[in-house]
Amino acid sequence: MISKTALPCPKSNPLSRTDACVSPMATLASESDEPLTPAGRLFVRPEMNQVIHCAVGLKNPIDIDSVIAQVRGSVMLHHPRFCSLLVRDPDGREHWRRTHIDVDRHIVVLDRPVSATESDDDECSVNEYLADLSTSSGLSEDKPLWEIHLLLAHKCLIFRLHHALGDGVSLMSMLLACCRREDDPDALPRIGSVGNRRNVMAGKGRGWWEWVYYYLRVLWGFLEMSWFSLIFVVEFILRSLWVRDRETVIAGGAGVELWPRKLATARFWLEDMKLVKKAVPNATVNDVLFGVVSSGLSRYLDCRGPNVLQDGLRMTGVAMVNLREQPGSQDLSELMKDNSGSRWGNKFGMILLPVYYHKSGTDPLQYLKTAKAMIDRKKQSLEAYFSYKIGYLVMTCLGSKVAGLLNYRIVCNTGFTISNVVGPQETIMIGDNPITYMRANSSSLPHALTMHMVSYAGRADMQILVAKDIIPDPDFLANCFENALLEMKQAVSATCKI
């Protein structure tokens, strides 16, 4: 078993982060090899090389032998992506090749505190370790692209998985398939159920005027979809070419993915978010999250960039949208079906989410109302589907180099990344060890700010990964987000009393 952390990549040209860090295996492709999907090929490009880090806190000390036994007996080792090597043929095309798994090579054990500052705070130490991993040398291609780091002193497991293996929904489903509920050890964890869409044609005895009204609504919805799709798709194309945000104290750019990182955690209670969303009809937790981000960034800029920002200044975020037929995390067996609309892999689109800076004194619930109105328009459009399909088309027709460059430019021309993955509703266990928290982030991007939220057992933790030379105080930024939600909650309570 290995007992050391990965060495950081040398600072260099942003479009050459690689070849020194990940050694490609050139080999002849065989008939049994499976080509990577277009999305998978994108994520192994040097400029978009992405590794997902999922930190899992445990209640009890880690038993190394128990963890290894759990891994050897898990469904993970029967999944084709987790027991395949990434190989390249002489033409540079990537393939998956099945191989034997030596579990010991995938387990990294650290038996001493990992913090260089000797902090007694487990959360700070784990965040520091994850921040170092985000700019490290990546995953070795001489074995399947995953690792499990055991931080014994901090009772934390870190699942390190290459994004080419799957997206957040796929990987969350895999993780949950390896766990059991604390209140029922024989049962799999439950994810928040998604109700079926109500059929507006249901019912009998409609009059002719009701049918006319229904078809007018359908026509109006089609016109809105067409209009919003046209606007957002054009904006998406322009962003991939040259249009970019104005400079602010949170802006990144080309090469920033190589800069040293800091990581902080913002903690929210789902009950607070659900209470706040009731203030706006039909609002969702995602609406509240983006309202909190809008308000929190304005608070941060008020303190870090005063007197130089115009009210209404736009900052643009990139959000990932799950395109499966059923949103939310999926049952692993459903994801593995070839004919399923919820297939395993990277099945998501990107949308651009604008945030507008407002000076202090703005009604906190106004951020939620603005966020909901904007996200509703995004939902009516085909922007996410377009980004997925155009990426597939560019990859197929022009190759992974052009597709990787366009995606890199989109990230360079925007301000931040945000994602949200739904986790289990109740406390779950790995083996017999209850999980205390689940958090996720990824390796660094040209953005100076990336935010990944995962909900678990009534709480939602958002990992805030920053380029520390641009945003030196991520803990203060995390407090801005937490205070933004509390201020919204207080506004809702005050409204209810009136």
Report pLDDT digits (tens) over 406-448.
999 999 999 999 999 888 888 999 888 999 999 999 988 899 9
pLDDT band (50, 70, 90) for residue 203: very low
CA distance 167 to 182: 26
Provide the pLDDT for residue 248. Answer: 87
Same domain, 117 and 230: no
Give mean pLDDT, residues 58-84: 89
Identify which of 124, 70, 48, 130 has the alpha carbon closest to the alpha carbon of residue 435. Answer: 70
Which structural domain, as residue segments, surrounds residue 67?
A: 32-181
1 part of a folded domain: no
420: Cβ–Cβ under 8 A, 6 or more apart, which residues? 285, 286, 289, 452, 453, 454, 455
Same domain, 246 and 159: no
∠ CA 109-189-335 to the nearest 5 degrees? Answer: 90
pLDDT band (50, 70, 90) for residue 206: low
Contact by Cβ (8 Å): 416, 315: yes
Per-residue pLDDT tens over the stretch 367-388: 999 999 999 999 989 999 998 8
- The pair of three-digit structure tokens given for residue 406, joined into one six-digit string: 């366009």
pLDDT band (50, 70, 90) for residue 31: low
411 part of a folded domain: yes
Which SS3 state, helix, strand or coil, does residue 464 take? Answer: strand
Give mean pLDDT, residues 356-363: 81
Contact by Cβ (8 Å): 149, 138: no
- Model confidence at 21: pLDDT above 50: no
Same domain, 165 and 221: no
Provide the pLDDT for residue 195. Answer: 40
Give mean pLDDT, residues 86-91: 85
Same domain, 248 and 175: no
Same domain, 173 and 69: yes
Provide the pLDDT for residue 187. Answer: 78
Residues with a known catalytic role: 163
Residue with the larger pLDDT of the pair 275 and 178: 275
pTM: 0.85
- Model confidence at 286: pLDDT above 80: yes
Query: Distance of CA 261 to CAs 49, 296, 322, 443, 464, Å?
Result: 16, 20, 27, 10, 10
Which of 181, 198, 226 is at the close of a domain? 181
CA distance 377 to 359: 25
Give mean pLDDT, residues 315-340: 65
Share of the chain above pLDDT 90, in %: 39
Give mean pLDDT, residues 220-232: 88
- Model confidence at 18: pLDDT above 80: no
CA distance 133 to 139: 10
Same domain, 147 and 245: no
Same domain, 263 and 412: yes
DSSP 3-state percent helix, strand, coil across the chain (nearest 5): 40, 20, 40
Same domain, 363 and 227: yes
- Model confidence at 302: pLDDT above 90: no
Give mean pLDDT, residues 59-70: 91
Same domain, 228 and 374: yes
20 part of a folded domain: no
Identify which of 9, 477, 432, 481 has the alpha carbon closest to the alpha carbon of residue 248. Answer: 477
Report which residue type is found at 307: N
438 part of a folded domain: no
Rounded to the nearest 5°, which phi and psi values hold at 325? -60, -35
Per-residue pLDDT tens over the stretch 233-265: 899 889 888 888 888 889 998 999 999 999 999
Check which CATH number belongs to the domain holding 159 and give it. Answer: 3.30.559.10
Same domain, 171 and 70: yes
Residue with the larger pLDDT of the pair 30 and 10: 30
Residue with the larger pLDDT of the pair 113 and 27: 113
Give mean pLDDT, residues 321-333: 62
Residue for token pair 């949103």: 327
- The pair of three-digit structure tokens given for residue 108, joined into one six-digit string: 């990294």
Provide the pLDDT for residue 93. Answer: 85
Provide the pLDDT for residue 438. Answer: 94
- Model confidence at 327: pLDDT above 90: no
Mean pLDDT of the chain: 83
Residue with the larger pLDDT of the pair 207 and 62: 62
pLDDT band (50, 70, 90) for residue 10: very low
Q: HSE, CB side, 13 Å, CA atoms: give it for residue 486.
A: 8
Contact by Cβ (8 Å): 107, 117: no
Same domain, 334 and 223: yes
Number of domains in the chain: 2
- Model confidence at 11: pLDDT above 80: no
Give mean pLDDT, residues 211-226: 81
Same domain, 223 and 357: yes
- Stretch (H or E) spanning 43: helix 38-43
Check which CATH number belongs to the domain holding 267 and give it. Answer: 3.30.559.30
Provide the pLDDT for residue 1. Answer: 37
Provide the pLDDT for residue 326. Answer: 58
Provide the pLDDT for residue 414. Answer: 93
Contact by Cβ (8 Å): 179, 428: yes
Per-residue pLDDT tens over the stretch 143-193: 999 999 999 999 999 999 999 998 888 888 888 888 888 888 877 787 754
